């Protein structure tokens, strides 16, 4: 297998895997994958897994019609064929192995799963509880997001902070001032190098962004953005925004203009979550298993917090529905 040369890290826009835009899909993906827990992710087993995910309709392709294939061997051959042009990624070889990783990147970044080529497949305690229905998606995503770190074994970036905490703290500051965060300002926040709340608030205080094109031009001039406008202003923000709301952290409001606010229904819960500090060692930022273990520390305290707030917890009505399917 050809091993690529790792590039020097740079500051980049916040991003999550865009192939899966609706984070609710990860629940079905992980549920379908659970039966393979403990196996080694080699080529043979990965072919079994990917074939199973196609048969379960977790993965879909216009080029694979399962009902027309009469044997397991035929299905596997078709799986290999339709994925043969996929490039190697995340330490997984090109082909169906790389397709598997496409769906595992975000769950790995959030600590739901440990999925490395040639290593044992491991599910976190939180992922298992989510699959078993012991906690719901909002509870699971909220406690994993609050332990997230931008710099990790899965992102070769210089940005070294928790982006979710950063935005929550921004929204709490704006709330105190009776203000909201516009969608255009959210785009600019995604370029923060170090999660400095005051620095970002100063930017949006002194700079107006009348539309997404203005936000894009600012990102190009001030953060050396090089990707196309669709990626910067739509693809990346859309996926990240959806994870924010499935976590219950924000509400999207419409008053002639899309704005982002802290979710008032979960304010006490959010503030208590912020009291949990997670500091990653340099090893944990570069070693996948160490990172996974770190993201699954303090489970007992966080689960206690969930149970404490569960009685008064509620999804933010239409805002929750709109954010996923919009």
Q: Among 64-73, 93-102, 163-172, 285-294, which stretch is predicted with the lowest mean pLDDT?
A: 64-73
Asked if 12 contacts 159 with a C-beta cutoff of 8 angstroms, the reply is yes
Pairing verdict, β 258-262 and 181-182: antiparallel
> pLDDT tens-digit profile of 61-120?
888 887 777 788 888 999 999 999 999 999 999 999 999 999 999 999 999 999 999 999
pLDDT of 145 over the 80 cut: yes
Confidence of residue 313 (pLDDT cuts 50, 70, 90): low
Q: Which of 292, 262, 246 has the alpha carbon at shortest distance from 21? A: 246
Query: Does 1 score more than 50 pLDDT?
Result: no
pLDDT band at 277 (very low <50, low <70, confident <90, very high): confident
- Mean pLDDT of all residues in the chain? 92
The residues near 284 (Cβ < 8 Å, ≥ 6 apart) are 290, 291, 293, 294
User: Which of 39-53, 66-80, 258-272 is least confident?
Assistant: 66-80
Structure token digits, residue 34: 């659970």
pLDDT exceeds cutoff 50 at 153: yes
Residue 3 is predicted with a pLDDT of 42
* Phi-psi sector, 231: left (phi>0), alpha (psi -120 to 50), beta: alpha
Report whether 25 contacts 36 (CB < 8 A): no
180 — alpha (psi -120 to 50), left (phi > 0) or beta? beta
pLDDT at 322 over 50: no
Burial tier of 325 (Cβ tally within 10 Å: 0-12, 13-18, 19+): exposed
Residue whose pair of structure tokens reads 């035929």 in the numeric block: 74
Share of the chain above pLDDT 90, in %: 83
User: Mean pLDDT lowest for which of 79-93, 158-172, 249-263?
Assistant: 249-263
Cα separation of the two ends of the chain: 41
Which residues are registered as beta bridge partners of 264? Answer: none
**Which tokens go with 32?**
């379908």
Element (H, E) at 140: helix 137-145
Spatial distance between the Cα atoms of 16 and 171, rounded to a whole number of angstroms? 21
Q: Is there a contact between 249 and 271 (Cβ–Cβ < 8 Å)?
A: no
Q: Among 107-111, 117-121, 165-169, 276-280, name the one with the lowest average pLDDT.
A: 276-280
Instruction: Answer whether 23's CB lies under 8 Å from 243's CB.
Output: yes
Instruction: Inform me whether the pLDDT recorded for 48 exceeds 50.
Output: yes
Integer Cα distance of 106 and 26 in angstroms: 9
The tens digit of pLDDT for each residue in 175-216 reads: 999 999 999 999 999 999 999 999 999 999 999 999 999 999
pLDDT at residue 40 greater than cutoff 50: yes
CA torsion 99→103→105→107, rounded to 10°? -160
CB contact at 8 A, 27 and 113:
no
Q: How does residue 134 score in pLDDT terms, banded at 50, 70 and 90?
A: very high
pLDDT in the model for residue 57? 87
Question: Is 281:274 a contact under the CB 8 Å cutoff?
Answer: no
């Amino acid at each position: 297998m050809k091993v690529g040369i790792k590039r020097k890290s740079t500051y980049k826009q916040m991003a999550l895997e865009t192939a899966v835009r609706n984070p609710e899909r990860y629940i079905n993906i992980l549920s379908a994958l659970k039966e393979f827990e403990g196996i080694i992710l080699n080529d043979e087993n990965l072919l079994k897994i990917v074939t199973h995910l196609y048969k379960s309709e977790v993965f879909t392709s216009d080029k694979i019609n399962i009902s027309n294939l009469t044997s397991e061997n035929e299905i596997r051959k078709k799986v290999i064929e339709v994925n043969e042009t996929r490039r190697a990624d995340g330490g997984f070889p090109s082909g169906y192995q790389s397709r598997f990783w496409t769906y595992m990147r975000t769950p790995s970044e959030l600590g739901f799963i440990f999925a490395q080529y040639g290593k044992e497949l491991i599910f976190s305690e939180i992922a298992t509880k989510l699959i078993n229905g012991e906690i719901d998606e909002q509870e699971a995503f909220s406690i994993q997001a609050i332990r997230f770190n931008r710099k990790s074994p899965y992102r070769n970036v210089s940005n070294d902070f928790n982006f979710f905490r950063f935005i929550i703290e921004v929204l709490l500051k704006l709330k105190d001032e009776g203000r909201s965060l516009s969608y255009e300002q959210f785009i600019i926040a995604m370029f923060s190098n170090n999660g400095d709340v005051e620095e970002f608030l100063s930017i949006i205080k002194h700079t107006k962004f009348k539309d997404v094109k203005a936000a894009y031009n600012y990102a190009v001039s001030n953060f050396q953005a090089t990707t196309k406008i669709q990626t910067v202003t739509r693809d990346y923000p859309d996926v990240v925004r959806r994870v924010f709301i499935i976590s219950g952290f924000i509400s999207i409001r419409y008053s002639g203009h899309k704005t982002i606010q802290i979710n008032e229904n979960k304010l006490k819960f959010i503030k208590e979550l912020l009291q949990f500090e997670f500091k990653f060692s340099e090893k944990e930022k570069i070693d996948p298993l160490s990172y996974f273990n770190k993201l699954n520390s303090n489970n007992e305290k966080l689960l206690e917090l969930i149970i404490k707030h569960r009685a008064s917890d509620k999804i933010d009505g239409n805002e929750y529905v709109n954010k996923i399917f919009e």
